[in-house]
Amino acid sequence: MTLSNAYRDFITTFPSYGATYAVDLLRAQEFSRLDEHGHVYLDYTGGCLYPLSLVQEHAALLEASILGNPHSQNPASQASTRLLEKARADVLRYFRADPDEYLVIFTANASGGLKLLGESYPFSSGGQFLLVADNHNSVHGIREYARRAGAAITYVPLDPDTLRAPDIEPYLAHPGDGGSRLFAFPAQSNFSGVQHPLRWVELARAYGYDVLLDAAAFVPTNRLDLGQVQPDFVPVSFYKMFGYPTGIGCLLARRQALAKLRRPWFAGGTVKLVSTKADLHLLASGQEAFEEGTVNYLGVPAVSAGLRLLDAIGIETVHERVLALTAYFLDALRALRHSSGSPLVHIYGPLDNAQRGATIAFNLVDAHGDHFPYQQIEAEANTANLSVRAGCFCNPGAGEYSLTHTADEVRRCVQLAIPDGQIVPTAEFDLHRFHQCIGDKPTGAVRISFGLASNFADAYRALNFLATFRDRPARHDFTERGC
């Protein structure tokens, strides 16, 4: 079927896509380089592409301004401070967060915000860190702070088919003995696209938990309204939302919850006073106690411009478009079959659009039921000028549940792949042996995600590419790569 015929069928089935025409204009104005290079970009969960005007607008601002380190009081410094505070206010406004309730701490990325929280959270024996298995490694890493402090670490498991979590109330109701409790979940999985229920926020708070809502994979194509739902801590990375600048994220934090945190050290910019002779320090208040050193004061003004761009196009419009593409793509993936009638695609997670975002993980299976190595699919996609993501996407929990790796299997195979079998984080590790030991099960997947500049042609070309695997045998000579 030609692209135009396929588009006609698509728009008949998904007429709401027609109302997102503004994104086609945006694509033509801001991302024409994609079509000029014949490039199909499908890794928006990895990072959004930068719109041309954000780069140009930022360059123009820098050309016209005199911006100094905001920690001083001179005119150049004051100019930076004004832009910094404007960006802070813009972030609060964009997320509809009440400034009396929330603060914005600028960080290098979402992981930076998560680390600030992990190292400062008052974990203690008697306390708890509760998290769903479907989380990014930068959330899982917080468990090491919890462990060191003697807090209990509890995982909420996933259903291997839907990759959704079960009723979380029994987990929340687990009695502790009065220590602080933190509950963490992603608003949207960066592996499967599953959107976990935002009502968990209030539920967990009612059980006395502080709630960390990882919104990094959610906010690029969904509205997060902090007037409606009020998690205690929300990390985001701005490059995932509008592509430019990289190296800037923030932790949105409820003022009350922030007051519970204890900074493990101090740094330039985070203190009111330090004495070397009296060996004392007094921390600055609010976000200042967390913004270590000099913030990226030249880059932060570009955040205001990025939010303006999203407001102009409307995040709801982007949302409508990527969900139409996702529904179409899921249906088409399921329809891809070998001549024998056996399915070509094994999709991980939800097969329809209910409570999910525009991120789809899958593997290809040949007519004999053997998985094509994800590395083969990635390599061929590269040759066809398609940018997809392959591997485990830093989400080992969703990976283990979908690829059916058991705890015993993982432990045994990791032990086998370490020369002296001692599992310590610094051990030498032979990934190839590990994967050999895991055997026939896949050790990763392919991920396609739609975002700000996606259009129907991207989805169509990706499907045509995947269809080239029909009736071909899987190869077994690809070198494994770590997650």
Ligand X SMILES: Cc1ncc(COP(=O)(O)O)c(C=O)c1O
Of 214 and 291, nearer to ligand X (C-beta) is: 214
Least separation in angstroms between CB 136 and ligand X = 3
Least separation in angstroms between CB 239 and ligand X = 7
CB count within 10 Å of CB 48 equals 25
Stretch that binds ligand X, among 197-205, 212-220, 262-270, 346-354 (CB under 6 A): 212-220
Number of residues that bind ligand X (CB under 6 A): 12
Nearest Cα to 214, choosing from 186, 193, 237?
186
Of 88 and 136, nearer to ligand X (C-beta) is: 136
Residue 217, interface with ligand X (CB under 6 A)? yes
What residues from 27 to 86 belong to the interface with ligand X (CB under 6 A)? Answer: 45
Of 195 and 304, nearer to ligand X (C-beta) is: 195
What residues from 373 to 432 belong to the interface with ligand X (CB under 6 A)? Answer: none
Of 136 and 205, nearer to ligand X (C-beta) is: 136
Residue 111, interface with ligand X (CB under 6 A)? yes
Stretch that binds ligand X, among 28-36, 105-113, 289-297, 360-368 (CB under 6 A): 105-113
Least separation in angstroms between CB 257 and ligand X = 19
Distance CA 15, CA 40 (A): 23
Residue 287, CA atoms < 13 Å, CB-side half-sphere? 22
Of 392 and 463, nearer to ligand X (C-beta) is: 392
Q: Which of 394, 413, 437, 483 is catalytic?
A: 394
Residue 222, interface with ligand X (CB under 6 A)? no
Pick one of 216, 252, 324, 466: the residue that binds ligand X (CB under 6 A): 216
Pick one of 92, 110, 224, 360: the residue that binds ligand X (CB under 6 A): 110
Least separation in angstroms between CB 224 and ligand X = 13
CB 54 within 8 Å of CB 299: no
Least separation in angstroms between CB 112 and ligand X = 7
Sketch the per residue contact string, 232 through 261, with ligand X: x for CB under 6 A, - otherwise: -----x------------------------
CB 258 within 8 Å of CB 234: no
Of 70 and 350, nearer to ligand X (C-beta) is: 350
CB 232 within 8 Å of CB 106: no
CB 83 within 8 Å of CB 300: yes
Least separation in angstroms between CB 117 and ligand X = 12
CB count within 10 Å of CB 173 equals 8
Pick one of 90, 210, 214, 458: the residue that binds ligand X (CB under 6 A): 214
Q: Let me know if 392 is a catalytic residue.
A: no
Least separation in angstroms between CB 190 and ligand X = 3
Sketch the per residue contact string, 162 through 201, with ligand X: x for CB under 6 A, - otherwise: ------------------------x---x-----------
Q: Judging by DSSP bridges, how do beta strands 249-254 and 233-237 pair with one another?
A: antiparallel
Of 186 and 306, nearer to ligand X (C-beta) is: 186
Question: Cα dist. 220→104, 145, 324, 369, 447 in Å?
Answer: 18, 29, 16, 35, 16
Least separation in angstroms between CB 72 and ligand X = 29
Residue 136, interface with ligand X (CB under 6 A)? yes
Torsion of CA 188, 193, 194, 200, to 10 degrees: 0
Of 238 and 456, nearer to ligand X (C-beta) is: 238
Residues that bind ligand X (CB under 6 A): 45, 109-111, 136, 138, 186, 190, 214, 216-217, 237
Enzyme catalytic residues: 394
